[in-house]
Amino acid sequence: MAFAQVSAAGEVAVVRLDDGKANVFSRRTIAEMHAALDEASPARAVVVAGREGILSAGLDLAEVRSDAQTQRALRNEFMRLMLRVFTLETPVVIACTGHALAGGAALLAAADRMIGADGPYRIGFNEVAAGVAMSVAAVELVRYRLAMPWFESMVRGEVFDPPGAVTAGLLDELASDPVGAALEAAEQLAELDARAFGVTKRAARRPTAELIAAALDRSESRGRPDRDDS
């Protein structure tokens, strides 16, 4: 079964993430996500949803714990995917159907609207708590989304419950049916003038997008992760 499956709901494309486990991002599933976004490109808005109980637990730990070259490639390819979502001129709405940790939280940070399930689960950037330093590219994405003091939660590897994620800014609202609510939000965004939305979104996000792209370029040219250690 494909990790990312695309269906249509009127003018909205729905991308469902489901690997049968924790919806982790490997180099393979990152490529599948890019293909899904390509398939969804004719739509006027995109909804990305997990399955019940999980949006994504982040990167595939088997690849993260592999050799340095594989780990670097995975992290950079994932952040290139997040940069694509972050700068996509089509509105992107996330239906957070459950746990969204590390890379799963990054997907929320990159979106235009984030609607979470009303239930007990965790959301946030727990990399430091797991002993993993965050890249400069990832930090810049989080900086865009979270204001102080919630931004510092990333440094401590802390996570939020759903109401806390709304307060912090990782979710906009909670709903008993997050997919349905995300579809409704996407339909509203689809009614906006597409060019006006896209141009304004890119202008608003350009400074952060340029910082993320520059960090990724440095990492790829140096042949090592770009962390704030220079």
Q: CA quadruple 57, 62, 63, 69: dihedral positive or negative?
A: positive
Predicted local confidence at residue 28, as pLDDT? 96
Say whether pLDDT at 224 is over 80: no
- Mean pLDDT over residues 136-153, rounded? 96
CB count within 10 Å of CB 204 equals 11
Predicted local confidence at residue 70, as pLDDT? 87
Cβ–Cβ < 8 Å for 25, 58: yes
- Mean pLDDT over residues 166-179, rounded? 98
Q: How many residues are there in the chain?
A: 230
Predicted local confidence at residue 43, as pLDDT? 98
Q: Which CA distances in Å does 95 have to 39, 73, 113, 197?
A: 19, 27, 9, 21
Say whether pLDDT at 226 is over 80: no
pLDDT in tens, 1-19: 689 999 999 999 999 999 9
Question: Helix, strand, or coil here: 17?
Answer: strand
Say whether pLDDT at 135 is over 80: yes
By DSSP bridging, strand 123-124 and strand 98-101 are: parallel
By DSSP bridging, strand 12-17 and strand 4-9 are: antiparallel
Predicted local confidence at residue 229, as pLDDT? 39
Domain residue spans of the chain: 4-190
- Mean pLDDT over residues 184-197, rounded? 98
Cis peptide before 149 (omega within 30 of 0): yes
CATH T-level fold of 4-190:
2-enoyl-CoA Hydratase; Chain A, domain 1 (3.90.226)
- Mean pLDDT over residues 156-171, rounded? 98
pLDDT in tens, 41-64: 999 999 999 999 999 999 998 888
What's the chain's average pLDDT?
95
Strand order in the sheet with 113-117: 4-9, 12-17, 45-49, 92-96, 113-117, 173-175
Question: Helix, strand, or coil here: 26?
Answer: coil
Say whether pLDDT at 67 is over 90: no
The band of 104, judged by pLDDT with boundaries at 50, 70 and 90, is very high
Q: List the single range of 62-71, 96-105, 140-149 with lowest mean pLDDT.
A: 62-71
Listed in sequence order, the residues at least 6 apart from 39 whose beta carbon sits closer than 8 Å to its beta carbon are: 6, 13
